[in-house]
Each structure stands twice: as structure tokens, then as C-alpha cells.
Amino acid sequence: MLYIKCPYCGLRAQKEFSYGGDATVKRPNINEEVSSEDWDNFVYMRKSPRGKHIELWQHIAGCRQWIKVQRDTATHEIFQTAKVTEEIR
């Protein structure tokens, strides 16, 4: 079981959360011309690194906020969590 520290509620079990994928993927700006390649990269292309990965989770059975989690994809160790508006370095 993973234990994720929600920045709003504190340490909670993985079962309270749902996964939202890679948090570093940036949506192309609205109202600007988007090339097919940029759109392709945004929708489909993923680095999926082995090691540190910054990802989105939603505390769906808690405060329902989206949060960022920095986690190791090889060991499942969680290093850091943050509000979705905050940066993880």
C-alpha cells in the first residue's frame, strides 16, 4: 500500500486516491495555433521514466483536490507532494 501525504489532509492510504498521470505534460495554449506535432506530444507521447516521476493524483475519497506527487517508479518511494498549483523541483 502506498501512503500519500495530501497537502490538504495529511498522510492517507493510496485507496483514497485516484491516479491522473504525468504532471509534466503541458497542454498547448488555448487560442493559439497548435501544430499537429505539439498536439500529438500532448495527447499521446510520454517519457514514462524509470526513477523519479512527477504525477497527478486526486484525493477522490477525501478533499477531492488534485495534487502533485513525486514518486520513484522503480521503488514506489514517495519523495514529495504538493498542491497542483505549486512546483516540484
Instruction: Return residues touching other proteins (CB under 8 A).
Output: 1-2, 13-15, 18-19, 21-22, 36-37, 40-41, 43-50, 53, 55, 71, 73-76
Least gap, CB of 29 to other proteins (angstroms)? 20
Least gap, CB of 42 to other proteins (angstroms)? 10
CA separation for the pair 84, 16 (Å, rounded): 17
Q: What are phi and psi of 37, to 5 degrees?
A: -65, -45
CB nearer other proteins, residue 1 or residue 11? 1
Least gap, CB of 44 to other proteins (angstroms)? 4
* Burial class of residue 7 in the structure, from the number of CB atoms within 10 Å of its CB (0-12 exposed, 13-18 middle, 19+ buried): middle
CB nearer other proteins, residue 77 or residue 86? 77
> Could you tell me which of 65, 54, 55, 48 has the C-alpha nearest to residue 12?
65
Amino acid 37 reads E
CB nearer other proteins, residue 40 or residue 86? 40
